[in-house]
């Protein structure tokens, strides 16, 4: 598979993502949120993802975090149906009120079981980067990091372990193996 060719659409998505998430920071570390989006896009490209998947990676949290359905429509007009379909596959909820944690996670896992390879790729990149960040924070601060998660340690790890099982259903790759290693180090 050849490397994705990145065009001005990717550039436009970078600027758009940066503006959308300008005032957002990461849990625990307080790092600007764009760092996560850039990392997820980089992982998608490293996995051989397409430009559309990389754009979806940059925007994968936008519907959930930055305004729901109106943002979804804006993204559809700017970047097209394919990008929106991938983002939809990575979105836990889009209509307030936010459902309870367990319900959201169960629904996400179920959706992922039937997801396209594109959705799985962006989802895996997202979860791998989150898990890497979690491990880095834990190494620095210890178990106090779990207080930042409404679900706590056990449920958070249950979610990641469940995701690993779903990703494994479509074969193995280095990213899934790394996710599994990171989660076992947190356990």
pLDDT, position 5 = 92
pLDDT, position 64 = 86
60: nearest Cα among 82, 91, 35, 30: 91
pLDDT per residue over 19-31, tens digit each? Answer: 999 888 887 778 8
pTM attached to this predicted model: 0.94
Instruction: Give the whole-angstrom CA distance, residue 10 versus residue 39.
Output: 14
Q: Point out the catalytic residue in the list 65, 94, 148, 173.
A: 65
Burial of 67 (0-12, 13-18, 19+ CB in 10 A): middle
pLDDT, position 118 = 96
Residue 98, Ramachandran bin (φ over 0: left; ψ between -120 and 50: alpha; else beta): beta
Residues with Cβ within 8 Å of 169's Cβ and at least 6 positions away in sequence, in order, are 113
Domains, the chain, with CATH or none? 8-186 (1.10.3210.10)
Instruction: Give the whole-angstrom CA distance, residue 35 versus residue 102.
Output: 27
Q: Point out the catalytic residue in the list 52, 53, 61, 64.
A: 64
Instruction: Take residue 58 and report the two structure tokens written for it.
Output: 């940059």
Q: In the predicted model, is pLDDT for residue 155 greater than 80?
A: yes
pLDDT per residue over 48-99, tens digit each? Answer: 999 999 999 999 999 987 888 899 999 999 999 999 999 999 999 888 888 8
pLDDT, position 2 = 63
Catalytic residue flag (residue 64) = yes
Catalytic residue flag (residue 65) = yes
């Amino acid at each position: 598979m050849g490397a994705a060719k990145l065009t001005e659409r990717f550039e436009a998505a970078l600027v758009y993502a940066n503006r959308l998430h300008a005032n957002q920071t990461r849990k625990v570390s307080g790092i600007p949120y764009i760092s996560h989006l850039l990392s997820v896009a980089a992982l998608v490209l490293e996995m051989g993802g397409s430009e559309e998947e990389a754009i979806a990676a940059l925007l994968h949290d936008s519907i959930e975090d930055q305004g729901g359905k109106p943002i979804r429509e804006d993204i559809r007009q700017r970047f097209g149906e394919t990008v929106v379909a991938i983002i939809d596959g990575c979105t836990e909820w889009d209509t307030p009120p936010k459902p309870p944690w367990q319900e959201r996670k169960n629904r996400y896992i179920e959706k992922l079981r039937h997801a396209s390879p594109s959705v799985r790729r962006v989802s895996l990149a997202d979860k791998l980067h989150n898990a890497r960040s979690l491990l880095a924070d834990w190494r620095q601060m210890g178990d106090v990091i779990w207080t930042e998660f409404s679900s706590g340690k056990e449920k958070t790890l249950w979610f990641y372990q469940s995701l690993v099982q779903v990703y494994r259903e479509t074969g193995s790759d280095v990213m899934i193996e790394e996710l599994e290693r990171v989660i076992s180090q947190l356990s």
